[in-house]
Structure 1
Amino acid sequence: MSLVEHLRELRKRLAIAVAAILVVTVTAAFFYEAITDFATRPILDAVGCRSAFAELARGEDKTCARLVLNGLIAPFSLALKVSLATGLVVAAPVWLYQLWAFIAPGLHRHERKYTLLFVGAGVPLFLAGGFLAYRTLPVMARVLLDFSPAQVDNQLPLDELLDLIVRMVVVFGFAFELPLLLVMLNVCGVVSGRKMLGWWRWMIMGVTLFSAIATPSTDPLSMLALAAPLWLLYALATVVALLLDRRRARSAAGGPSDDEASALDFTPEEIEEPEPEPVPAGRHA
Structure 2
Amino acid sequence: MATSDLDQQGLLNLGGDNSPEDDDENDSSAMSLIDHLEELRWRIFKCLIAVAVGVVIAFIFRNQLIHILDAPLPLSANNVGGNHGLTMTGLGEGFTVTIKIAIVFGIVFALPVILYQLWAFISPGLYDREKKHAVPFIMLGLVLFVLGVALGYFILQYPVSFLVNFGAENFNELISASSYFSFVSLFLLIFGAIFELPLVLTFLAMIGIVTEHFLKSKRAVAHVGMWAASTIVTPGGDLYSPIFIGISLSILYEFSILLIHFVVKKDTEEEMA
Confirm or deny: 8 A CA contact 1:172 1:226 kept in the other structure.
no
Tell me what 1:225 maps to.
244
Give the structure-2-normalised TM-score: 0.77
Cα 1:248/1:11, change in 2 over 3 Å: closer
Give the C-alpha shift of residue 187 in structure 1.
2.3
Q: In 2, Cα distance between the equivalents of 1:92 and 1:239?
A: 26
Cα 1:13/1:27, change in 2 over 3 Å: same
- Which amino acid is 2:192 matched to? G
Q: In 2, Cα distance between the equivalents of 1:30 and 1:119?
A: 28
Alignment length (residue pairs): 243
Tell me what 1:48 maps to.
75
Q: In 2, Cα distance between the equivalents of 1:5 and 1:159?
A: 43
Matched, 1:67 2:86: yes
Matched, 1:14 2:33: no
Select 1:38's aligned residue among 62, 68, 79.
68
User: Which is richer in helix?
Assistant: 2
Q: Which ranges of 4 or more aligned residues in structure 1 deviate by more than 4 Å?
A: 56-60, 242-249
Q: In 2, Cα distance between the equivalents of 1:204 and 1:116?
A: 30
Tell me what 1:141 maps to.
160
Structure 1: 5+ residue runs without aligned partners?
Answer: 50-55, 258-285
Select 1:197's aligned residue among 216, 234, 243.
216
Cα 1:240/1:27, change in 2 over 3 Å: closer
Tell me what 2:124 maps to.
105
Matched, 1:235 2:257: no
Q: Secondary structure at the match of 1:218?
A: coil
Q: In 1, Cα distance between the equivalents of 2:215 and 2:174?
A: 47
Confirm or deny: 8 A CA contact 1:211 1:223 kept in the other structure.
yes
Select 1:25's aligned residue among 44, 51, 55.
55
Tell me what 1:179 maps to.
198
Cα 1:72/1:90, change in 2 over 3 Å: same
Confirm or deny: 8 A CA contact 1:122 1:180 kept in the other structure.
yes
Structure showing greater Rg? 1
Q: In 2, Cα distance between the equivalents of 1:107 and 1:246?
A: 19
Matched, 1:164 2:183: yes
Give the C-alpha shift of residue 158 in structure 1.
1.1
Matched, 1:131 2:150: yes
Q: In 1, Cα distance between the equivalents of 2:259 and 2:51?
A: 36
Give the C-alpha shift of residue 208 in structure 1.
1.4
Give the C-alpha shift of residue 177 in structure 1.
1.7
Confirm or deny: 8 A CA contact 1:171 1:214 kept in the other structure.
no
Query: CA RMSD, aligned part only?
Result: 2.8
Give the structure-1-normalised TM-score: 0.74
Select 1:83's aligned residue among 95, 102, 112.
102
Cα 1:58/1:239, change in 2 over 3 Å: closer
